[in-house]
Amino acid sequence: MSELRENPVNEYLRLDRLPSIWCPGCGIGTTVNCFTRALTESKLDLDKVAIVSGIGCTGRVAGYMNLDSFHTTHGRAIPFATGLKLANPDLKVVVYSGDGDLSAIGGNHLVHAARRNADLLVVCVNNFTYGMTGGQVTPTTPISAVASTTPYGAYEETFNLPNLMDACGAVYVARWTAFHVRQIAKSMGEGLKKKGFRFIEIIAPCPTLYLRRNKLGDGLDEMKYYKEKSVVKNGADTREVGLDYHDKIVVGKFVDRERPTLEEAMDKRFTDVLGAKYVPYTSPGKQPLA
Amino acid sequence: MNADPIGVLTGSHYLDGDHSCSEGAIAAGCRFSAGYPITPSTEVVERLASRFPRVGGRFQQFEDELAASIAVLGAVWGGAKAVTVTSGPGFSLMMEHIGLAAITECPVVYINVQRGGPSTGLPTQPAQGDMMQARFGSHGDYRLIALCPNSPQECFDLTLRAFNLAEEYRVPVVVMLDEVVGHMTEKVVIPPADQIEVTPRRYTSKKPGDFKLFEAAEGSLVPEMVKAGDGYRVHVTGLTHDERGYPAMNVVAQDKMVKRQFAKIVENADKIITFEEKNLLGAEAVVVSFGITSRIAEKGMQLAREKGAKVGSFRLITAWPFPEKQIIELSKKVKAFVVPELNMGQMSLEVERLAAGRCRTIPVLHAGGTVHNPEVIAEAILEAVR
């Protein structure tokens, strides 16, 4: 008889908070599974990994992770995480949120954090809709897709998030779908290793709202669509990777480059100008245990 | 504990209120600031941007006040003492994160240099129109602490105290200047570091697993703190939460959380509240004032005394929590309160509520843009003692 083995994911989760709020067929949990695998591979000290979420379905990820975890306000995970990282440079800080949270209400912070190369790994689960509030249109909802606030189909041009992040200076940009579990884990692992602003977009199904309202079937149907219509193009020109409604999805690692992080740029500037008068910021250190 | 000498500019200085706030923050051990430019508050972060690289601090200008007001919360959870600074329109944008700071019991300091409003209003001119916003501006029910300096010296003293109170009660503290106090230049004496009392963060001595981030410490209403990276694996959420910090969206958890967060301020009000009393013995009228208006009221009282009025002064140093007991006691002894303020009636409502008809409350209101004419305050005092 084989011994009953513990699920390897368990140590990464707050098991006392399960089951999660996510619907059957939702892609968010899949990405979390990939994230735990990336954490295992990374061999990082998990006490030094912090996760920050905004609001929404993906915004709940932080609360399920057995890490220092922060569930902040709508759209503001990135500036919270920037403050956390600047104040405690020993931490590896991951922002995990959805397309609406990061690119609509949080859009200003997203572009500026990429521009200043804040040392954050940002995971954006893009399900093309606001799930938590009942399936409204987001900046990524493809033209013609139905959402509760575009009952006759969306008509606004969408954000091509990889291109936006590329243009803003992100040092690492990748996109996968929830079908590409190994690639997601690999990208997340690369993202965890790298410094600077890293952005991973994961296209994921929202069966309850987006798929149902658009008569696209269930989570499994969406996986088949991802499998059939995804095209891997590592290094693709991000201008060419925009998404149309239920059409092909270009996936891959699009950007991987080096640029001084916010902290490095700050340090260099002050060292150059102030010389010996510069007193670098030091981590507050481990708190004294009595 | 005493202040870290590296940051303390001991000596006599000629400083404006804004710059004095910066020095108060540094003396308090603040080593992180996030900001977004807005008149008439920008000088505070400009000085921090200049001083921090020389004292081991970090300043980051953000893309807006929404970002600045939450970056400081991230920094606090990272282990820093942190401040952001703003004025009217920026203060409105920061309200959501004052609420987040309140519900997550995050020790942080917000400085608001008040200007005329509403909206863009009078960017370069004074008002005291945000006093109720400081108290009630974020949605939902919470209590915080607000202090209102009336001089550059007090900008130093009260910014320092704001940090100490924030740590003591794990609460956001707001320092409410006005444009005149922010921009007036006076002598500021900064004591030696070993004479500056600084409250350190109340880190728990419990081990991970035994510690609950939102459980009041023994004999206290205030929970102890941790920071990210120390192995506690805390969860911090803006949702209603239980003592572990886990979301608990039910009536019982809401009741318990909100009431303790109220109680830690209300039940410690006597320790938090400070005020300045002058000439109360035999006074028939008492001027209740704060911030720049208290400086103008001095002249108003002098003019009224020259005409025979027996008038005393009660100056609010803590705006919130409000010195309720003191006002109630005074209301039993005097004919009237005179409340000059650069708004259309905010703190005067509190005074009137607490006087409860035992004496008159005479607000001396001014829509802002400049300070009162002291003669108008004198006239109100003379009417009060008639």
Provide the percentage of residues in chain A whose pLDDT is more than 70: 98
Whether B48 and B25 have beta carbons less than 8 Å apart is answered as: yes
Which residue of B79, B96, B237 is in closest CB contact with A87? Answer: B79
Query: Which pLDDT score, from 0 to 100, does residue A287 have?
Result: 67
Question: Quick check: is A285 in a domain?
Answer: no
Map tokens 């069966």 to a residue: A207
- Nearest to A24, CA basis, from A178, A287, A205: A205
**In the predicted structure, residue B128 carries a pLDDT above the cut 80:** yes
* Average pLDDT value over all residues in chain A: 96
Instruction: Kindly give, in sequence order, each residue whose CB lies less than 8 Å from that of residue B218, ignoring residues fewer than 6 positions away.
Output: none
Residue in chain A closest to B65 (alpha carbons) equals: A79
Give me A82's structure tokens. Answer: 């920037």
Question: Quick check: is B91 in a domain?
Answer: yes
Of B165, B195, B225, the residue that ends a domain is B195
Question: Quick check: is B97 in a domain?
Answer: yes
Hey, how many other C-beta atoms are within 10 angstroms of the C-beta on A136?
17
Instruction: Kindly give, in sequence order, each residue whose CB lies less than 8 Å from that of residue A199, ignoring residues fewer than 6 positions away.
Output: A114, A122, A124, A161, A162, A165, A170, A172, A173, A174
Question: Quick check: is B146 in a domain?
Answer: yes
pLDDT per residue as tens digits for the range B323-373: 999 999 999 999 999 999 999 999 999 999 999 999 999 999 999 999 999
Residue B10: domain span: 5-195
Query: Which pLDDT score, from 0 to 100, does residue A38 have?
Result: 98
pLDDT per residue as tens digits for the range B87-114: 999 999 999 999 999 999 999 999 999 9
Provide the percentage of residues in chain B whose pLDDT is more than 90: 100
Residue A147: domain span: 10-258
Question: Quick check: is B231 in a domain?
Answer: no
B281 and B154 share a domain?
no
CA distances, A107 to each of A110, A130, A174, A233 (Å): 5, 15, 18, 26
Question: Quick check: is B237 in a domain?
Answer: no
**In the predicted structure, residue A290 carries a pLDDT above the cut 60:** no
Residues in chain B with CB shorter than 8 Å from the CB of A270 are: 53
User: What CATH number did the domain enclosing B350 receive?
Assistant: 3.40.50.920
pLDDT per residue as tens digits for the range A190-245: 999 999 999 999 999 999 999 999 999 999 999 999 999 999 999 999 999 999 99
B169 and B22 share a domain?
yes
**In the predicted structure, residue A289 carries a pLDDT above the cut 80:** no
A6 band by pLDDT with thresholds 50, 70 and 90:
confident
User: What CATH number did the domain enclosing B131 receive?
Assistant: 3.40.50.970
pLDDT per residue as tens digits for the range B237-291: 999 999 999 999 999 999 999 999 999 999 999 999 999 999 999 999 999 999 9
Is B8 within 8 Å of chain A by CB?
no
Query: Which pLDDT score, from 0 to 100, does residue B252 have?
Result: 98
Task: Give the number of domains in chain B.
Answer: 2
Fill in the DSSP letter of residue A278: -
Q: Measured on CA atoms in the order B245, B250, B256, B260, is the torsion positive or negative?
A: positive
Provide the percentage of residues in chain B whose pLDDT is more than 70: 100
Of B156, B179, B195, the residue that ends a domain is B195
CB contact under 8 A, A79 and B70: yes
Question: Quick check: is B240 in a domain?
Answer: no
CB contact under 8 A, B233 and A108: no
What's the gap in Å between the CA of B36 and the closest CA on chain A?
13
Question: Quick check: is B137 in a domain?
Answer: yes
Q: What is the CA B18 to chain-centroid distance, rounded? A: 14
Is B271 within 8 Å of chain A by CB?
no
pLDDT per residue as tens digits for the range A53-97: 999 999 999 999 999 999 999 999 999 999 999 999 999 999 999
How large is the average pLDDT for residues B126-146?
98
Question: Quick check: is A199 in a domain?
Answer: yes
Question: Quick check: is A278 in a domain?
Answer: no
- In this structure, the dihedral spanned by the alpha carbons of residues B187, B188, B194 and B197, taken in order and rounded to 10 degrees, is 140
Question: Quick check: is A266 in a domain?
Answer: no
CB contact under 8 A, A279 and B54: yes
**In the predicted structure, residue A286 carries a pLDDT above the cut 90:** no
Of B163, B195, B227, the residue that ends a domain is B195
User: What CATH number did the domain enclosing A172 receive?
Assistant: 3.40.50.970
Is B106 within 8 Å of chain A by CB?
no
B185 and B284 share a domain?
no
Task: Give the number of domains in chain A.
Answer: 1
Whether B293 and B179 have beta carbons less than 8 Å apart is answered as: no
pLDDT per residue as tens digits for the range A262-279: 999 999 999 999 999 999
Question: Quick check: is B203 in a domain?
Answer: no
Residue in chain B closest to A282 (alpha carbons) equals: B56
**HSE (side-chain half, CA atoms, 13 Å) at B88:** 21
Question: Quick check: is A282 in a domain?
Answer: no
Query: Which pLDDT score, from 0 to 100, does residue A2 have?
Result: 65
Residues in chain A with CB shorter than 8 Å from the CB of B73 are: 72, 80, 83
B150 and B32 share a domain?
yes
How large is the average pLDDT for residues B183-199?
98
CB contact under 8 A, A87 and B205: no
What's the gap in Å between the CA of B26 and the closest CA on chain A?
14
Give me B275's structure tokens. Answer: 């005020």
- A5 exposure class (CB count in 10 Å sphere: 0-12, 13-18, 19+): exposed
Is B98 within 8 Å of chain A by CB?
no
Residues in chain A with CB shorter than 8 Å from the CB of B237 are: 63, 70-71
